[in-house]
Amino acid sequence: MCLAVPGKVVAVEERDGTRMAQVDFGGAVKEVCLAYLPDIEVGDYAIVHVGFALQRLDEKSALATLELFEQIGALDEEFGDPWQRAAAEAGTAVPASVAAQPHVVSEEA
Q: What is the pLDDT of residue 4?
A: 80
Q: What is the pLDDT averaged over residues 22-29?
A: 86
More confident call, 33 vs 91: 33
Segments forming the whole domain that contains residue 46: 5-93
On whether residue 103 sits in a domain, the answer given is no
The CATH number that applies at residue 89 is 2.30.30.140
> CA dist 95 to 15, 80, 83, Å?
38, 17, 9
On whether residue 105 sits in a domain, the answer given is no
Q: What is the pLDDT of residue 17?
A: 92
On whether residue 102 sits in a domain, the answer given is no
pLDDT of 106 higher than 50:
no
DSSP at 94: P
More confident call, 34 vs 107: 34
pLDDT (tens digit per residue) in 39-96: 999 999 999 998 999 999 999 998 888 787 777 766 665 665 556 666 666 777 756 6
In whole angstroms, give the CA distance from residue 2 to residue 57.
19
On whether residue 25 sits in a domain, the answer given is yes
On whether residue 88 sits in a domain, the answer given is yes
In whole angstroms, give the CA distance from residue 64 to residue 54.
18
On whether residue 108 sits in a domain, the answer given is no
More confident call, 76 vs 16: 16
In whole angstroms, give the CA distance from residue 11 to residue 24.
9
On whether residue 101 sits in a domain, the answer given is no
More confident call, 82 vs 34: 34
On whether residue 99 sits in a domain, the answer given is no
Number of independent structural domains in the chain? 1
